Amino acid sequence: MKHKVFVDGQEGTTGLKIHEYLAQRSDIEWLSIDPEKRKDIAERSRLLNSADLVFLCLPDVAAREAVSLITNEHTRVIDASTAHRTHPDWAYGLPELSPEHREKIKHSRRVSVPGCHATGFIVGLYPLVKAGIVPADYPVTCTSLTGYSGGGKSLIKKYESVADGGLNSPRPYALRLQHKHLPEMQAVTGLRYPPAFVPVVANYYKGMGVMLPLISRLLNKPLSAAQVRDFFAEYFAAEKFIKVMPYDADATLEEGFFPVECCNDTNRIELFVFGNNEQILVVSRFDNLGKGASGAAVQCMNIMLGADEAAGLKS
């Protein structure tokens, strides 16, 4: 039996990528919308209600609207937007966090795909808070480097338009420290206060490095960087898409510099721990359009449909 799948927002960055992932799948019947009608509410509504599963690859407002257009009990939804990530009735689409997260995704009719920055942050912090190593009131800071495709069609156009130019150097943004991923970062990890989070976008297409510094003596259990690395290795041992890198990871650097594009075109997160007995730096590296968006959405779909979780995805 084929599963009928519709992507609302099929012409966008995330939607096109999902199509790429699913085009060769023999278990999927693709319901396509006439590009001319992609914002026609009646046509969207017809397709949303005809599908077994829909991906919402839309701005938040349009994603909320799409959900309101679904009037049957059957259609299952995977939303790539920020709209439902902390909604208690929605599953958070990061199955690697715990068996409970994976189970909730499997049985849910509504799944929200994590934000790209949030993905790297939560993978590095959730296990440490859960184990009581990082206290819930820890003063967490984070800096995250992303390629410009993270900003969707409009940012891609801006970076790639010769006329605009002038975007060569990295640009920190969300400097009011109120980035839209903060609610999920705080809610999913169980932190008492939101982190001080600074994203930086730079002039390359895709690839992320999310950096989370910790000070050992401020932890509940003052582990060294090497011990934190071993903790992660055990925590994620069974996970196909999370690769905990060796502690002594200098060999993976380029003359001391950290390359952020090494996981591009995969659904893999590489988790590094650098540092010493006092200072710890947790870094996650992944493709913002892979595990940071479309790859994660397809992984959730696989879980929901009872298919091989890794089907069509590169680890």
Ligand X SMILES: NC(=O)C1=CN([C@@H]2O[C@H](COP(=O)(O)OP(=O)(O)OC[C@H]3O[C@@H](n4cnc5c(N)ncnc54)[C@H](OP(=O)(O)O)[C@@H]3O)[C@@H](O)[C@H]2O)C=CC1
Which positions touch ligand X (CB under 6 A)? 8-9, 11-15, 38-39, 57-60, 62, 80-82, 115-116, 149-150, 152-153, 288-289, 292-293
- Among residues 32 and 276, whose Cβ is nearest to ligand X? 32
151 binds ligand X2W (CB under 6 A): yes
- Position of minimal CB gap to ligand X: 12
Near ligand X2W in 77-96, by CB under 6 A: 81-82
266 binds, among ligand X, ligand X2W, none (CB under 5 to 8 A by kind): none
Return the range that interacts with ligand X2W (CB under 6 A); candidates 103-111, 133-141, 148-156, 255-263: 148-156
- Asked if 299 interacts with ligand X2W (CB under 6 A), we say no
Give min distance, CB of 276 to ligand X2W, in A.
31
Pattern 98-137, binding to ligand X2W, x per CB under 6 A?
-----------------xx---------------------
Note whether 181 binds ligand X2W by CB under 6 A.
yes
Q: Which 3-state string (H, E, C) describes the chain?
A: CCEEEEEECCCCHHHHHHHHHHCCCCCEEEECCCHHHCCCHHHHHHHHHHCCEEEECCCHHHHHHHHHHCCCCCCEEEECCCCCCCCCCCEECCHHHCHHHHHHHHHCCEEECCCHHHHHHHHHHHHHHHCCCCCCCCCCEEEEEEEHHHHHHHHHHHHHCCCCCCCCCCEECCCCCCCCCHHHHHHHHCCCCCCEEEEEEECCCCCEEEEEEEEHHHCCCCCCHHHHHHHHHHHCCCCCCEEECCCCHHHHCECCECCCCCCCCCCCEEEEEEECCCEEEEEEEECCCHHHHHHHHHHHHHHHHCCCCCCCCCC
